[in-house]
């Protein structure tokens, strides 16, 4: 203890004295004193005389043509085939298909029939086709497991 104080207390007092001795130098500012931050000078380009020029340039960039009518999407013919027999025919499943062949058929079927690849109006039948195809392939794999 130094002069009746603990070492920690004397260090804290010394740091406080040093802090009081430092003179705070104001940081450089790019503001004009006396003006609020929302003050903005009027530029020549922003004058009402030139407002029409800006509007004309803006409207020039907008399309002037008639809106193009979009045609109704055409339903792909394979989305009409929703029975189990038709989907099994599309999958071309064989009795002697191995697990790898079945996985490859699943990937190819998904590539051509996935609901994300068709128009939103036709997602429901595409989703149904994918569900049935996956069930058929899963059943074929279960049969492979029971035979082996």
Tens-level pLDDT at each residue, the chain (148 residues): 456 778 888 888 888 888 877 777 777 666 666 666 666 655 555 566 667 777 777 777 776 677 778 888 899 999 999 999 999 999 999 888 899 999 999 999 999 999 999 999 999 999 999 999 999 999 999 998 887 6
CA distances to 6, 21, 22, 59, 75 from 10, in Å: 6, 17, 19, 73, 86
Whole-model pTM? 0.52
Reference 129, options 91, 74, 96; nearest CA is: 91
């Amino acid at each position: 203890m130094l002069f009746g104080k603990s070492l920690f207390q004397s260090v804290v007092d010394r740091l406080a004295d040093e802090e009081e001795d430092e003179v705070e130098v104001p940081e450089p500012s790019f503001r004009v004193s006396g003006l609020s931050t929302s003050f903005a000078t009027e530029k020549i380009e922003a004058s009402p005389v030139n407002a029409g020029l800006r509007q004309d340039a803006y409207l020039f960039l907008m399309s002037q043509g008639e809106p193009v009518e979009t045609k109704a999407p055409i339903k792909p013919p394979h989305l009409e085939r929703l029975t189990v027999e038709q989907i099994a025919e599309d999958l071309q499943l064989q009795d002697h298909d191995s697990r790898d062949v079945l996985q490859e058929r699943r990937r190819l079927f998904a590539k051509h029939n996935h609901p994300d690849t068709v128009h939103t109006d036709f997602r429901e039948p595409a989703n149904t086709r994918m569900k049935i195809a996956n069930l058929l392939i899963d059943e074929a794999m279960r049969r492979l497991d029971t035979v082996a």
